[in-house]
Amino acid sequence: MTGPRSMSMRIGALLGAGVILGACAVVGTGTATGQPRVLLHMDFDGPAGSAPDPIWRAELGGGGWGNHEAQVYTDRPDNVSLDGHGHLAMTARRAADGQITSARLTTWGNFAFTYGRAEARIALPAGTGLHPAFWLLGTDIYEVGWPAAGEIDVIETLNHATEWHSAVHAPQAGTARGQQLSASGPVPFPLAGEFRTYWVERTPGRIVTGVDDLTLLTITPLNLQEGATWVFDRPFNLLFSLAVGGAWPGPVDASTPFPASMLIDYVRVTEL
C-alpha cells in the first residue's frame, strides 16, 4: 500500500515497551517457560454477520485513496464481519449501479508494537483488479504524515495472486514518496484461496517478512539510500485492506468475481 487517508488525530501516551492497548485487546499476560510472551492473540469466533472486536477500527471513505483506487471503504457487515466459521471476512462488492465497496481495518490507537513477530493466517482473494494487503504503519502517521511515519507491507497480491509483493517504505529527503525497498516473485505453492501464515519479524535495525516457512524480504539500515531515514525502531500498528482497481493493480473487468473476500483466521503478535 502507499500511504493513509488524510486525517487529523492525535495518539495518547504509549504504554509499556512499545505496546499500545485499548480496553478490548486480547492479550496474554504470561506464557510457559521458554515460550515467547504473547502481546496480542485474536481469533474471530462469533456469529455470522457480527462485527470484529473493537480493537479493529474501520477506516471509512475512499474512491481514490492510495493508488487512485475504485473502492469506497465502509464498516457495513456485508463488507466487514465475522463469517460464523472462525474467520473475519473483508469483502469487496459491486452494486448494480457500479459502485464498489470494501473494507480497511487498523489497530491505530488500540494496539501497536515495536519489536516482535506479527503474523496472520489469511486466505487471499484473486481476480482482476483485486489488491489485498496485510501491512503496518508507524503510530505517528497522523502527526508526521506518510512516508515520514514509515510503512511495512508484509504481503500484497495483485489480480490473480500469481506472485507475492513485500516492501518497506522509508522517508527520504528530496522525494515526496520516500525510498521503497521491495521484492516480489512466485512461490512454490498457491496463494489465492488457501490459508497461509504471513509474518513480519521486527528486531532492532532489522525487518524480515515471510510466508509460512519461506522468508520473503530482509531490510536493515544498510539498504537505505543517501538521505533516507530508518524510522522502524518505533511502535507500528497493524492494518488489513482489500483495495480494488486503480493504477496498481489496474481496473476490474467483467471477470472480476464480486463479491470477493479476504478471510483472516487469526492474528498473533509475540515477543521474539
* Confidence (pLDDT) at 215: 97
Q: What's the pTM?
A: 0.91
Inside any domain, residue 189: yes
* Confidence (pLDDT) at 264: 98
Inside any domain, residue 40: no
Strands 179-185 and 164-170: antiparallel
Inside any domain, residue 25: no
Inside any domain, residue 38: no
Answer yes or no: 156 catalytic. Answer: yes
Question: pLDDT tens digit string along 206-257?
Answer: 999 999 999 999 999 999 999 999 999 999 999 999 999 999 999 999 999 9
Q: List the catalytic residue out of 119, 156, 194, 226.
A: 156
Inside any domain, residue 35: no
Confidence grade of residue 1 (pLDDT, cut at 50, 70, 90): confident
Question: pLDDT tens digit string along 3-60?
Answer: 554 332 223 323 334 554 433 345 554 555 678 999 999 999 999 999 999 999 999 9
* Confidence (pLDDT) at 149: 98
Taken as a whole, the chain contains a residue count of 272
* Confidence (pLDDT) at 23: 34
Answer yes or no: 151 catalytic. Answer: yes
* Confidence (pLDDT) at 2: 65
- In whole angstroms, what is the distance from residue 76 CA to residue 104 CA? 11
Task: Give 4-22 as a 3 state SS string.
Answer: CCCCCCCCCCCECCCEEEC
Q: List the catalytic residue out of 59, 69, 151, 201.
A: 151
Residue 46 DSSP code: S
Q: Residue 222: which CATH number?
A: 2.60.120.200
Q: Which domain holds residue 214?
A: 48-115+126-193+210-235+245-270
Which cell is 223 given? Answer: 539498504
Domain count within the chain? 1
Inside any domain, residue 9: no
Q: Classify 222 as helix, strand or coil.
A: helix
Would you call 223 exposed, middle or buried from its count of C-beta atoms within 10 A (0-12, 13-18, 19+)? middle
Residue 271 DSSP code: -
Question: pLDDT tens digit string along 79-125?
Answer: 999 999 999 999 999 999 999 999 999 999 999 999 999 999 999 99
Strands 20-21 and 260-270: unpaired
The closest alpha carbon to 139, from 5, 18, 227, 253, belongs to: 18
- CA 183 vs CA 137, 153, 180, 258: distances in Å: 18, 11, 10, 29
Would you call 176 exposed, middle or buried from its count of C-beta atoms within 10 A (0-12, 13-18, 19+)? exposed
Inside any domain, residue 229: yes
* Confidence (pLDDT) at 3: 58
Say which amino acid occupies 224. Answer: L
Inside any domain, residue 10: no
Question: pLDDT tens digit string along 162-178?
Answer: 999 999 999 999 999 99
